[in-house]
Chain A
């Protein structure tokens, strides 16, 4: 039967409903600030978002959005290649190209459309794509559509990438190498210096999805490639407006002039309506704030370090280094569910990740920090985890 393949999901949902736990699609009923809201009837600290700089609730971004809705209306009702290119969209493309110091930028309606659309289009039949094994679903969705030969290399392993480039021989010169800046699940950063070195040795084009690293890493917030000092080796940067910029939408920038022609070959760009002008306007304002206020990034990292060292100090299994995403790794799904629910009841909303969305067989309690969190909120989060240890839901220090 058509629906047989969904039975395991039907069963899992029934189990969650029976236990009264709602980790997927928990409803936010109120937003009080960038870091506080009411979720499923409880006032909580929002510690499971991607609101890295807290800009989703910035009064300046809200005002820009309101003014644009007043001026342009609520939607464009059409594609960028038809009636949906307003001067706001063009201005944002100019802003983002300027921010990255390149000449070419495309703005997409979502980050997913940006990465999947670029990955589906850049390489085609006869070409080769080398992608990090832990790539985001939007990257996998794109490369599957491309018609290119798809080769995975081991996550964050430049030696494995180099080995596979070598195996390609002359074909390596045209290969498309796809990596992310910060990986969204464990918060680990790609070793971009070594990856760029492999590209220099064997050839290829480098595509970096900075979805979680734009506004977060790099001297001016351009992301992991800037932080690694290898921007000259990058051919395409993709990213999203839905995380550090607090809106929705995506982009791709490139020093290659061909990007302007590629634009008209991307289905995810052509066959979808352009973003609402209000969203474009708040994004432009958020980008301006990122450039003008580097202290936001400093505050984010202070909070990230505080949470990471706090949770590591409790003896919990966390990612390889401090990052705005601090994931606690658990082996057992039952225990993860119970912890997630207990955290919510203690007033801390985090993300729960189970396979296949997690990179391996383990489960995650994914915490994310924001520049807008106060040190007290971070301490509350750490205390909530300590309480899980006291309750026997997590291994006590020394037992992990």
Chain B
């Protein structure tokens, strides 16, 4: 498993707990439009991801992150 896939796997795990509509999570799933995350749930998921990988995700990147795949790529970048 590549590192990126490990990030993707963990992120999907976190997002499952907010996946009220039970959509199938793929790289192209949109966090807000598809899963329906509220802004508070976005922040909660980010905190769980940060703690797990021991990183800080700057708020500045959030406007560029819409999908699960984009989030995984950002986490990948931040851990490099």
Contacts and interface: CB of A to CB of B under 8 A. Distances in A.
Interface of A: 133, 149-152, 154, 163-164, 167-168, 355-356, 360-361
Given A151-B56, A361-B38, 6 more contacts: A149-B60, A150-B59, A154-B47, A164-B56, A167-B56, A168-B56
A361 B40 contact: yes
Nearest to A128: B58
Contact of A149 (B39, B55, B58): B58
Given A133-B43, A356-B39, A360-B40, A167 B54 contact: yes
Interface residues of B, number: 12
Nearest to B39: A356
Contacts of B43: 133, 152
Interface in B43-59: 43, 47, 54-59
B58 A151 contact: yes
Given A133-B43, A356-B39, A361-B40, A151 B59 contact: yes
Nearest to A149: B58
Contacts of B54: 163, 167
Contacts of A152: 43, 59
23 contacts: A133-B43, A149-B58, A149-B60, A150-B58, A150-B59, A150-B60, A151-B56, A151-B57, A151-B58, A151-B59, A152-B43, A154-B47, A163-B54, A164-B56, A167-B54, A167-B55, A167-B56, A168-B56, A355-B40, A356-B39, A360-B40, A361-B38, A361-B40
Contacts of B56: 151, 164, 167-168
A360 B38 CA distance: 11
B70 to A, nearest CB: 18
Interface string B46-80: 01000000111111100000000000000000000
A151 B47 CA distance: 11
Nearest to B38: A361
Interface of B: 38-40, 43, 47, 54-60
Contacts of B40: 355, 360-361
Contacts of B55: 167
A100 to B, nearest CB: 30
B35 to A, nearest CB: 17
Q: Which of A133, A150, A356 has the most B CB atoms < 10 Å from its CB?
A: A150
A154 B56 CA distance: 12
Contacts of A361: 38, 40
A163 B50 CA distance: 11
B58 to A, nearest CB: 5
B39 to A, nearest CB: 7
A154 B44 CA distance: 10
Q: Which of B43, B55, B60 has the most A CB atoms < 10 Å from its CB?
A: B60
A161 to B, nearest CB: 11
B65 to A, nearest CB: 14
A159 to B, nearest CB: 11
Q: Which of B39, B54, B56, B59 has the most A CB atoms < 10 Å from its CB?
A: B56
What 4 pairs across the A-B complex have the smallest Cβ distances? A150-B59, A151-B56, A149-B58, A164-B56
A5 to B, nearest CB: 13
A50 B55 CA distance: 38
Nearest to B58: A149
Contacts of B58: 149-151
Q: Which of B38, B47, B58, B59 has the most A CB atoms < 10 Å from its CB?
A: B59
A343 B43 CA distance: 34
Contacts of A360: 40
A133 B54 CA distance: 18
A137 to B, nearest CB: 14
A186 to B, nearest CB: 16
Contacts of A154: 47
A375 B56 CA distance: 48
A152 B59 CA distance: 7
A150 B58 CA distance: 5
B27 to A, nearest CB: 26
Nearest to B47: A154
A167 B43 CA distance: 19
A361 B54 CA distance: 27
A152 B60 CA distance: 11
A70 B56 CA distance: 55
A136 to B, nearest CB: 15
A158 to B, nearest CB: 15
